[in-house]
Chain A
Amino acid sequence: MFAYTIRRLATLVPVLLGMTFIVFMMIRAIPGNPAQLILGQQATKEAVAALTQRLGLDQPWYTQFIDYLTGLFTGDLGVSLKTNVPIAEEVWPYLAATIELALVAMVIAIVIGVNAGIISAWFQNSWFDYTAMVLALVGVSMPIFWLGLMEQYVFSIHFDLLPTTGRDNIRVPVDPITHLYLIDTLIQGRMDQFAEVIKHLILPGVALGTIPMAIIARMTRSSMLEVMRSDYIRTARAKGMKMFWVVYKHSLKNALIPVVTVIGLQTGLLLGGAILTETIFGWPGIGTYIYDAISYRDYPVIQSGILVVATIFVLINLLVDLLYAAIDPRIKFK
């Protein structure tokens, strides 16, 4: 396991370097003078020259890249052009908001997806099975930004059950400590706020969780069907074990192995979906951070924002690989 971990980590180095290089090249790939583009046509020559120097664009590209890399190693992600605050200092609240949303979406996807898959396999070819699998087919084809809008229309506007936007009630804002509001409100013992935060999480969580939910449900179903045909399950049933325990104790344990990989892969993919969900639900996450930076042409924020998300994505994938190798020892020797 140790050797495998080292080998996996070693393959990570060129990927991270390449990723950084692509992100670094972004601003330099802009046709014309990036500083002019950022400042607009009316900008004075002095302002353009000052910004060019500030962005380091007057240096040869390899010096710039080495500077950028050294900066990253010391935790310097650059300075936002809009707020003039170092990005490393202001990024955490946004990142925390996205992490909270993604985790909730994943919990919703796993709880509903895995159970729907189990019941579908248990009662194969029943009406539940058909309904669930048709819904799952529709779910994987769902444009989540549209689903989000429809949720808002039905649950916020029509029935007025849940809030449309934001993370908390703006009249009673949460006092941030970790910026993970579920934890913050619990630490402060503010159950009213905790409930409010949950309410705000439901709609974006469901929108973001729909695609992984559908994929997890299908994966669980096919994996369960395979396991339930095996000999040891027949034995368990033959000795008179209750079907519920056969399903949830014996079958599930083995059926979950492929499901775990899917869950891991989907967690990474959620980060991409989060950008779309956040813009609809006014969620102040990293997606909103990058999106706002694009309209402001705040290239340092766009670059570092993308780099942060992509790095997390790569790390999650690494974790999934290691986890999978730990569950299934055959992987290591491939």
Chain B
Amino acid sequence: MSELTRSTPPVVPQPQHMPVEPVEDKVISPWKDAWRSFKKNKIALVGLSIVSLFILVAIFADLIAPYSYSEVELKDKHIAPSAEHWFGTDEFGRDILSRVIHGARISLWVGFFSVAGSVIVGSLLGIIAGYYGRWVDSIISRIFDILLAFPSILLAIAVVSVLGPSLKNALIAIAIINIPTFGRLLRSRVLSVKEEEYITAARAIGMSDFRILIHHILPNSLAPIIVQGTLAIATAIIEAAALGFLGMGAQPPTPEWGKMLADSKDFIIQAPWTVLFPGLAIMLTVLGFNLMGDGLRDALDPRMKS
């Protein structure tokens, strides 16, 4: 995506006059190689740190959060950021820092699981389309085209307006809109791998379709899925927040970041901090996943290496 993240030179080969070490020690797996170039990419590491921080916050939310995220204490309404309440309090006197901390759990949960859903369903459809070709391919590919023909947030709104507003339905909606991305990815992957000689060889020695799929096609598609998946988590988090903001996602008192913004936007004059912090949290998390995704792309996709 950016020039900034594409700064890593490939691993320098050993000069000829150096004593030659046993070959076994020098063989590095592609994953190790990818990790080496990822490590040298400072911006990607910033992304990884942000993501790790939010994951830790999400896991240990109960331990870190100084107050309850749902307990209403009306006398503490709209306290400005202070030593007791770092991010201030909202219109119900709830500690915003605690709500933002618990919100990390929700956003990451929606991000991971919606993308996991899209990856599973999308990959399956993509593999079927690519492997069996002909009319199966035509039908599945047309479905992808149709799903991609909607602006994504609009499709999500359509799904939620049918299923009813809830966090679970928002997750389903987001999973659905991302299916074609992974479907197309896997389909093109299968199409290009299918023609390789080692697949013909595998078939010649009597390997079944299923085993070829598990042993050859899936491992070959893992890298782009990881890259695309990381970037998709970023989009999924924004979309979940957008749905929450429109009142079509998480319902009160769930401390979902988008919902928090929607609830506090009417108090922006008296208590701007109620709007500032949930939004910053969304932006930082999304930035983290985007930076990490860019870095992973550079590290895992040799064609992008310059």
Q: Please measure, in the bound complex, the distance between the C-alpha atom of A22 and the C-alpha atom of B286, giving whole angstroms.
A: 30
A222 within 8 A of B: yes
A75 within 8 A of B: no
Which residue of A has the minimal Cβ distance to B291? Answer: A137
Given contacts A275-B153, A302-B158, A310-B150, contact A152 B268 (CB under 8 A): yes
Chain B residues positioned under 8 Å from A147 (CB to CB): 279
Cross-interface CB contact of B157 among A137, A221, A275, cutoff 8 Å? A275
B4 engages A133 (CB within 8 Å): yes
Kindly specify which of B10-18, B63-71, B138-146, B217-225 makes contact with the partner chain.
Answer: B138-146
B127 within 8 A of A: no
Chain B residues positioned under 8 Å from A314 (CB to CB): 149
Q: Please measure, in the bound complex, the distance between the C-alpha atom of A17 and the C-alpha atom of B278, giving whole angstroms.
A: 40
Interface code B255-295, partner A: CB below 8 Å = 1, 0 otherwise? Answer: 00010010001001100100110110011001100110000
B246 engages A279 (CB within 8 Å): yes
Which residue of A has the minimal Cβ distance to B3? Answer: A222
Chain A residues positioned under 8 Å from B248 (CB to CB): 294
Number of interface residues of A (CB under 8 A): 51
Cross-interface CB contact of A306 among B1, B154, B268, cutoff 8 Å? B154
Chain A residues positioned under 8 Å from B2 (CB to CB): 133, 136-137, 218, 222
A309 engages B287 (CB within 8 Å): no
Q: Please measure, in the bound complex, the distance between the C-alpha atom of A162 and the C-alpha atom of B157, giving whole angstroms.
A: 31
B152 within 8 A of A: yes
A272 engages B152 (CB within 8 Å): yes
A18 engages B143 (CB within 8 Å): yes
Chain B residues positioned under 8 Å from A222 (CB to CB): 2-3
Chain A residues positioned under 8 Å from B279 (CB to CB): 143, 146-147, 149-150
A180 within 8 A of B: no
Which residue of A has the minimal Cβ distance to B284? Answer: A141
Which residue of B has the minimal Cβ distance to A14? Answer: B142
Given contacts A15-B142, A137-B4, contact A30 B162 (CB under 8 A): yes
Closest chain A CB from B14 CB (angstroms): 30
Interface code B153-166, partner A: CB below 8 Å = 1, 0 otherwise? Answer: 11001100110000
B158 engages A306 (CB within 8 Å): yes
Of B146, B261, B265, which is in contact with the most chain A CB atoms at under 10 Å from its CB?
A: B146
Cross-interface CB contact of A153 among B154, B246, B275, cutoff 8 Å? B275
Q: Please measure, in the bound complex, the distance between the C-alpha atom of A147 and the C-alpha atom of B146, giving whole angstroms.
A: 31
Chain B residues positioned under 8 Å from A302 (CB to CB): 158, 161
B241 within 8 A of A: yes
Chain A residues positioned under 8 Å from B269 (CB to CB): 157
Closest chain B CB from A64 CB (angstroms): 16
Given contacts A145-B242, A146-B275, A149-B261, contact A275 B154 (CB under 8 A): yes
Interface code A18-37, partner B: CB below 8 Å = 1, 0 otherwise? Answer: 11001100110110000000
A143 engages B142 (CB within 8 Å): no
Interface code B230-270, partner A: CB below 8 Å = 1, 0 otherwise? Answer: 00001000100110011110000000001001000100110
Cross-interface CB contact of A142 among B3, B150, B246, B283, cutoff 8 Å? B283
Chain A residues positioned under 8 Å from B19 (CB to CB): none
Which residue of B has the minimal Cβ distance to A215? Answer: B1
Chain A residues positioned under 8 Å from B154 (CB to CB): 271-272, 275, 290, 306, 309-310
Of A150, A157, A269, which is in contact with the most chain B CB atoms at under 10 Å from its CB?
A: A150
B161 engages A310 (CB within 8 Å): no
Given contacts A218-B1, A306-B150, A310-B150, contact A153 B291 (CB under 8 A): no
Given contacts A26-B158, A153-B275, A309-B154, contact A146 B1 (CB under 8 A): no
A313 engages B153 (CB within 8 Å): no
Which residue of A has the minimal Cβ distance to B276? Answer: A150
Chain A residues positioned under 8 Å from B152 (CB to CB): 272
Chain A residues positioned under 8 Å from B290 (CB to CB): 137, 140-141
A108 within 8 A of B: no
B157 engages A313 (CB within 8 Å): no
B245 engages A145 (CB within 8 Å): yes
Which residue of B has the minimal Cβ distance to A222? Answer: B3
A268 within 8 A of B: yes
Chain B residues positioned under 8 Å from A313 (CB to CB): 149-151
Chain A residues positioned under 8 Å from B145 (CB to CB): 11, 14-15, 18
A18 engages B142 (CB within 8 Å): yes
Give 6 closest A-B pairs by Cβ, nearest first: A272-B151, A146-B279, A18-B146, A141-B287, A141-B286, A272-B153
Binding site for A on B (CB under 8 A): 1-4, 43, 142-143, 145-146, 149-154, 157-158, 161-162, 234, 238, 241-242, 245-248, 258, 261, 265, 268-269, 272, 275-276, 278-279, 282-283, 286-287, 290-291
Binding site for B on A (CB under 8 A): 11, 14-16, 18-19, 22-23, 26-27, 29-30, 133, 136-138, 140-143, 145-147, 149-150, 152-153, 157, 218, 221-222, 225, 268-269, 271-273, 275-276, 279-280, 290-291, 294-295, 302, 306, 309-310, 313-314
